[in-house]
Each structure stands twice: as C-alpha cells, then as structure tokens.
Structure 1
C-alpha cells in the first residue's frame, strides 16, 4: 500500500524481543517495534494514561507531508480493528488519486462521491 508502519510501545526493547520470539502474533511482525520507555512519544500523541502508567492503543495515519489524517484511540480493554485502519488508508489514497470522497462503508472498488460545500446533503 506504499506505506510505512511503525509500532511504538512503552515496553522495553527486551519485552519486544521476547514478544517477537515467543508470541504467535509477535512472530508475524515484519515492521519496526520502537520502545518509548521515557513515555515521551505517548505523551506528545496524547495517549498516555499517566495516572495508571500505560498508553492507550492508538493508531495515527500520517500523510507523506507529515500531517495527521486520522487518529484512532482504543480504550484499554479493546484491540485495534486493522481492517478499518487499512480501509482508511485506502480511502485516503483513493481521495488523493481521484479527488473524490469515500462515503461511510466505502471499500476499494466502490464509487466515490464529490466533496465540497456544493455537495453537502446531496448523498
């Protein structure tokens, strides 16, 4: 999809090493796992629960110009929906290519919609 994926966690590099060596899901990871032991990144992105000492599960989709296009923050007991993250990336790429918007429930291959004030309420 012509993207870069980074995983950042407040766990240590040693925890990441053990996770990728022992967990069935960890063994499938083929992107960098970065350690945020100082919690600086988690604080800057607003996902650190300082009172309880953990970071929420967050996904940040950042465009090639460095602008955050989407933020998804899940509560502690809820995992990420990777299919939705991929759909958002595909929709943003579709928009860049066509200039069209991706309506609710849009998937690759679906038609887009014209966007702008002239089209508000027309769909």
Structure 2
C-alpha cells in the first residue's frame, strides 16, 4: 500500500474528458493538487452515486485548484458510453481515466486481481506529486465528496502553514494548533 508522502508512480493512459478522448500521464498531474478516485466498474450500483456526488461538488474542488481523476479498469470507450447514457454520469466534467490493464490501480495497490477491478480508493496528491491523504473502503461502502473537500482543505492549509496542524473535525476558518511543549497534556 502506498504511504503518505510516497511519490506518484509513472503512468500513461487514455481518458474520457468533456466529450473527447485524451491521453493523461503522471506529468499532467504534477504541479497542482489532484484526487485519484478509484471505483470498481462503470454501469454498477454504488459507483454512480459516488461519481455523481463528485460531479455535484466538482466546482468546489476546482475553486481549491484540485483536479479530479476518476479511475476504473474500464476502457475510455466504456466511460463515454456510460457518460452518454446515464443522467448521473452525464454530469461529470472531470477526467475519467481508463485503466484496462490495471497498471494505475496496481501503482496505488488497490487492484483486486481475482476480480480484475479496483477497490474504492481515494488518494490526494500534492503539487509535488506526493500522496497526502489515503482512504480505501469496502466495495459496498460509498464515499462522500463533502468529507473529501474537508480533507483537501486541511491538507492545503497544513501545506501552506508550516508549524500548524488541523485538529479533528476542523473546518476552514476554524482554529488550528501549533504543536509545542506547552500543549503536551493540555488538549
């Protein structure tokens, strides 16, 4: 399993984005914040609810300078067909990466080899190409885009404010902590 601060591994793949087929590489991700949002498969059950939730919150991610990369082991042609036929998936404006060989899923250690598909894994990548947040859930457990937005805001705050940390349930604008000897045993 990748660890916090491990680097994004090299990849190149096809993707579906805004009505076009494009190529995406690890170099395209670096230099800005990115979320890799792995899901098992197109045309399934929990997956469209998660991807629609991400689509409904995509503008908020964009305001934070974050690009979303949804990833499944389906081909880019399948992503287009799903986008064209599902009202929920039709809302998607972010990049839908195709990973038919499972290379990217293996890079993040979320490939379910015997099923040929990925676990539900979320990875926040910082502008230097390092992982800052990891969440992997069971196949039947959907994720929340608004909870992920809170994690992104906290990670960005900590990255831009050395010496400060965000406590549990932190929301943007709330007080942070500056770890020191004076705080030991007082929180």
Fold shared per TM-score above 0.5: yes
Superposition map of 1:14-25 within 5 A: 14-25=77-88
Instruction: Give the count of matched residue pairs.
Output: 123
Going from structure 1 to structure 2, the CA distance change for 1:11 and 1:117 (only over 3 Å counts) comes to: farther
In the alignment, is residue 122 of structure 1 matched against residue 186 of structure 2?
yes
Q: Is 1:83–2:146 an aligned residue pair? A: yes
- 1:42-70 Cα deviation digits (max 9, x unpaired): 11111011122221111100111111011
Larger RCO (CA within 8 A; separation ≥ 6): 2
Question: Which of 126, 130, 134 does residue 67 from structure 1 map onto?
Answer: 130
Q: CA RMSD in A?
A: 1.7
State the secondary structure of the residue aligned to 2:157. Answer: helix
Question: Residue 97 of structure 2 corresponds to which residue in structure 1?
Answer: 34
Instruction: Give the direction of change, closer, same or farther, for the CA distance of 1:19–1:88 in structure 2 (3 Å limit).
Output: same
TM-score by length of 1: 0.89
2 CA distance for matches of 1:9 and 1:46? Answer: 13
Q: Give the direction of change, closer, same or farther, for the CA distance of 1:67–1:122 in structure 2 (3 Å limit).
A: farther
> Where is the strand percentage greater, Structure 1 or Structure 2?
2
Structure 1: unaligned runs, 5 residues or longer: none
Between 47-56 and 90-99, report the one with greater CA deviation: 90-99
CA distance in 2, matches of 1:30, 1:86: 17
TM-score (norm 2): 0.61
Q: What CA distance in whole angstroms lies between the structure 2 residues aligned with 1:48 and 1:86?
A: 25
Distance in 1, Cα, partners of 2:181 & 2:100: 45
Give yes or no for the alignment of 1:103 onto 2:167.
yes
Cα offset for 1:116?
Answer: 5.4
Q: Taking structure 1 as reference, are residues 88 and 23 closer, same or farther at Cα in structure 2, changes over 3 Å only? A: same
Change (3 A) 1:16 1:2: same
Q: Do structure 1's residue 3 and structure 2's residue 42 form an aligned pair? A: no
Show the counterpart of 2:176: 112
